[in-house]
Amino acid sequence: MEKQPLAETAVNQIEKVFGRYPGYRRAHARGDIYEGVFAANGAASELTTAPHFQQGETRALVRFSHSSPDPTWTDIMSPVKGMAVQFHLPESAVANIVGVNSPIFVAKTPEVFTEMLTIMKSFKNGKPRIADLAQLVAKYPESRAGIDVLKKMHAPASFATGRYHAIHVFYFIDAHGNKRPVKYEWEPEAGVDTLSLAKAVSMPIEYYKADFEDRLAKGPVAFQLNIVLGEKEDPTDDPTQEWPADRKKLAIGRLLVTGKAESAETVIFDPTVATQGIECSEDRILNFRKEAYSISHDRRTKGM
Ligand code: HEM
């Protein structure tokens, strides 16, 4: 019998743990899509030839999401929120940056992630059992930091007040072919603000959507795009590790989210899709996501 590719096993496993919801993304199922404009300030033009990072404006599509694969979960059952940005480049090309409000991930490899899903059955109820977490950490010590971040995490008070990290490393390539490892983060201009427990408990369903649309009615919602510059000794293949806090950070542009997008539910925010001047790192989780997202896209657009 032919062996099932691991990405298919992973997506099947997500469905097994959280359920199958026809037409929805297999993770970050519930979310809202907006139009935006990204203005690059030119600070990255010495580091990359990517067209959207040369001084000037690029149209963007932005999807904010609640991380659960189950779209019936309330907003607050998913403290992890997503911000996926697709830059629309010349000649119908696109480049994506897909972030969440955590600087690190819980698994170093696709194999560990897929195995974790089997252990994480109790996540189905919104909160994992302590015993399940202890079992995970004992087996995969490198996952401790990511699990600790999740345990302590407070949801942002609004989609507009999260700091979103793309987690993985990418290489910027300049006009001479020099490569530099970078990590992306979106810094909210409204300031980082998280929800108190009291507010979280009383929050109505679709609070985030209503809040964001209230903000948009008053004007664009802004984020600054920063890159963190890696040094030689910094790991480039391990999403469970943060880089030292003193690494140089460079603001390379500003995104204005301006209004609702018509409908873009068929869009796929594949984090490996970039353009000239940007390359994916060797990180196996990053490269694995390409196939997993494609399987999810295929199923949901067929109404499965
Ligand atoms: C083994 C690792 C991972 C797997 C298997 C996985 C799986 C998935 C799947 C199946 C989707 C739905 C894709 C679609 O239908 O378009 C998705 C969406 C998403 N994932 Fe992951 N994911 C992984 C790691 C990560 C990491 C490390 C991040 C952090 C940056 C992340 C952030 C997101 C976000 C923000 C979305 C929603 C994108 C959108 O709005 O369309 N994922 N993920």
Any ligand 1 atom below 6 A from CB of 292: yes
**Among all chains, which residue has been given the structure tokens 């909210």?**
188
Q: pLDDT by residue for the chain (304 residues), tens digit each?
A: 567 799 999 999 999 999 999 999 999 999 999 999 999 999 999 999 999 999 999 999 999 999 999 999 989 889 999 999 999 999 999 999 999 999 999 999 999 999 888 777 666 555 667 777 788 789 999 999 998 998 899 999 999 999 999 999 999 999 999 999 999 999 999 999 999 878 888 888 799 999 999 999 999 999 999 999 999 999 999 999 999 999 999 999 999 999 999 877 899 999 999 999 999 999 999 999 999 999 999 999 999 9
Any ligand 1 atom below 6 A from CB of 27: yes
Q: Closest Cα to residue 67, out of 105, 107, 37, 108? A: 105
pLDDT value, residue 2: 63
pLDDT value, residue 118: 79
Any ligand 1 atom below 6 A from CB of 166: yes
Structural element, H or E, at residue 270: none
Contact (CB, 8 A) for 14 and 65:
no
pLDDT value, residue 126: 56
Any ligand 1 atom below 6 A from CB of 26: yes
Q: From ligand 1's centre to the CA of 288, what distance in Å?
A: 10
Would you call 233 exposed, middle or buried from its count of C-beta atoms within 10 A (0-12, 13-18, 19+)? exposed
pLDDT value, residue 131: 79
Contact (CB, 8 A) for 36 and 62:
yes
pLDDT value, residue 37: 98
Domains in the chain, start-ordered, CATH in brackets? Answer: 6-301 (2.40.180.10)
Q: From ligand 1's centre to the CA of 26, what distance in Å?
A: 8
pLDDT value, residue 269: 98
